[in-house]
Structure 1
Amino acid sequence: MKRSHIALLIIGVGLLSGLIVFSELNPLKLFEVNVSVQVPSEENVIELKLDVRNSSGSVTYSNVSSLYLDRDVNVMFKLLSAEVNGDVKITLSGQVTLVSDDGIKYVVPMPCLFANNGCFRVLMLIPGYDTPMSLPRGKYSISLTLTWYGASGEGIIKLRVGLVEETVEVVKIGSRPENTTGWVTVEGSTKSYAVLVDPKAVKVGGCLYATHVWVWIFTPSNTTDVKNVKVVVEDLYSGKQLYNADVDLDKSGIYREALMKVILPQGKYILKIFITPETALQTTLSVETC
């Protein structure tokens, strides 16, 4: 897309230069050239124009773009912004189809992508739209279908739909929280080790939310010192492992402990913390809204 816009700009400038030369020579015929230049200010921007003339309809943009991934990623299609000018009502849904070079197809329905006059959709979570969808590394062609109904009035709606990478992240931010009032103790915790979770999640951007998790282990001198724990996050429905890493524990007297920030996109997950390779405490984390 970027190359085609640059080519149009170069051709337009060339035609305008020729026009100036001919006007000085009193030409027999004069061509007036109006050049419309629209170069996206951002990389990887695809501009589509949908002309709605009926109250309902559908249009497909086949192979509108391509996507190259140099690694496995978790992605989601999201409505990033919507701008309405005029008195217009519409319910718009979409469907993205990605086809890999080896022919594997990934279809992501996007019901109620934009609606300012009501919309009903299934309550089940849709991978790639409501929750992250895993895409293996490779090259993909992208097609987009837009379907609408209940359209009325006159105006312009500008939508920005993004294909964004959603990753689960666990960051150690300290040893212990200042206050654990209201925190939930994970089932299976004992007097020797425990995991506590702050049930209040904070939005940190887009559809990403962060909560805090505190793990502590009692390590008196006559026991084996535990210097780290393994943290695993899995998708609740697919069982796919989204995060797996060791987190170092700080020494605090006869305890080892760590305070972590867990960042999650919308969805439901299982958090597992392995105190030892054989002993794990687990709980369910849920981000219901975006």
Structure 2
Amino acid sequence: MAGEFDIIAKYFMPLAGPEGLGLADDAACLTPSAGKSLIVTKDMIVGGVHFLEDDPADSIAYKALAVNLSDLAAKGANPRYYFLGLSLPKGVDEIWLASFAAGLKRAQDESGITLAGGDTTSSPSHVTVSITAIGDVPTGQMLRRNGARAGDTVYVSGTLGDGALGLKCLLGETNVSDELVTRYRYPTARMALGTRLRELATASADVSDGLLADLGHICTASHLGADIEETKLPLSDAAKAALETSPDLAPLIYSGGDDYEIVFTADAAKADEISAAAKEAGVAVTAIGRISDTPGIRLVDQSGALVHTARNGYQHFET
């Protein structure tokens, strides 16, 4: 395989925007727009933890960028630039790199973000991709986790559980569904919705670790709780089919993670405006519950009985 600088020149220079200075310097030159605040997020994905070792290279790149875009979306930010840290083990070849770069380009083209710099290194074991993404919002309009209010409606975008069920398909733990596998490998960041929620939502988070876990972050930051109705959780047809085959996987809908949807709260009076914003963004949103003065997240079934959850979401280092 080519050396570090040859790899950068061949695969990553074509992805760079003007801020990256052709990737010829050891730094980028960013110029914030007047009246805008910069929003910075960082996520890292590691082979064997966040993706399977034999996943297609383009899907690894796409997912690495998409999970960062999802964080920006939940903040109401427009994506601008990103920095790529890439650590590669022996055995990675030019075919893999070309596919990886194509996955980045696809995610860039869909979102408008551009590469501004980064670093490449060798690795003794797994592929590791670390991305720092930068977006901007009008000053004072960043969506945060700590703004929820008692009585607010809880909403979630899209459908839940598809990514986690897609992983189960690849692991042979349920029937294979191409739709679910695609949702696992190529998650959709809800950028268009996020920007439309700036003046509507009171709090927001992206669903990466699981609905209950990420809603829990909102409730913790806002010093409140939430009551969620299990029957209102939105499911795709593919997820419904998978659960008919493997009903024991049902907890993945609210705790599996890898959804990269937006969970947010809003005043109940904003329901019509939120529906209109969702329609403009081209994604469904579903009201799934309500914020409460009582701390904690309570998931109830159709009879109103509490659903006992073994876990709310994924946690690294959990034993």
Considering only CA atoms, is the larger Rg found in Structure 1 or Structure 2?
1
> Per residue, is there more strand in 1 or in 2?
1
> Per residue, is there more helix in 1 or in 2?
2
- Structure of greater relative contact order (alpha carbons < 8 Å, 6+ residues apart): 2
TM over 0.5: no
